[in-house]
Structure 1
């Protein structure tokens, strides 16, 4: 068995070799760890906090806001075609944009497929969050059943919480219980 002194002398040359390699071939550490591969130009700091702020404030596309009537209910005491019953659409607004809607006011004119007007509604939605929807109920149309009705949507007001106008982002869905189309004004 070797003495402790002999074992220490075997490790010493290895430590000397490692120390010599580190001194002879220094590692090339980057001057700025935030540069991420971009060369330093010398005209200011390569890592600019304002660049992050620019990305945050950058204009992003907002996306569509969908208006649909997926369901309409028939209420009343009478049978089919009776004057005691009426059609009540449920109007749904879906925020598919990437900004919260502060206020959305829409008007919908309803008519039968043969062109007879059967009613109109105006609806106000407020604070619709991103990827959320809101539904309003209990409007009465002057028909006793809900088949054969169409609607035309007019955007009265649409504003994001940022203050931007969102009227151009509103889309009417042309299928569902009552198909809708957007007024082209």
Structure 2
């Protein structure tokens, strides 16, 4: 699903901005149908289209964040996040024994701290506070990802439901991000 999101971001470079808004509305409609109408099963093709449309939306959000936060900070956070999730994926694939959930969370926290420390040395940013906030955000996402993957590993998934599990996991990340943003907004008031 994340590869399709990247494909959508690459495709978004060539789409005029007048088309992005209708595509965003279609994406939100599809997400709403996926999340709230569980008894209504969407075809698999549409489930593959959702991440592509999300990638197009994320590209335009990236442009906004570059203006607000700066490209060096976003680049540093992106590199750190990619390294963190690659390390977690390799560790998850290579560790054959069953490990406790608390150990996997501690391992995730240590990986995030080490990666952000090393990447900050090679890619310094102007605003360290924003980097710290981004590191905490990536830490929350990484811990949540490990929690979700552990719960998916411990349940039986039929072949027909693999795409649904993947899209629900994909949408759960965006739901987490929306919740964190809402908490941050209410904290400002």
TM-score (norm 2): 0.21
With a CA cutoff of 8 Å and minimum separation of 6, indicate the structure with the bigger relative contact order: 2
The alignment's TM-score, normalised by the length of structure 1, stands at: 0.22
User: Which has the larger helix fraction?
Assistant: 2
Larger radius of gyration: 1
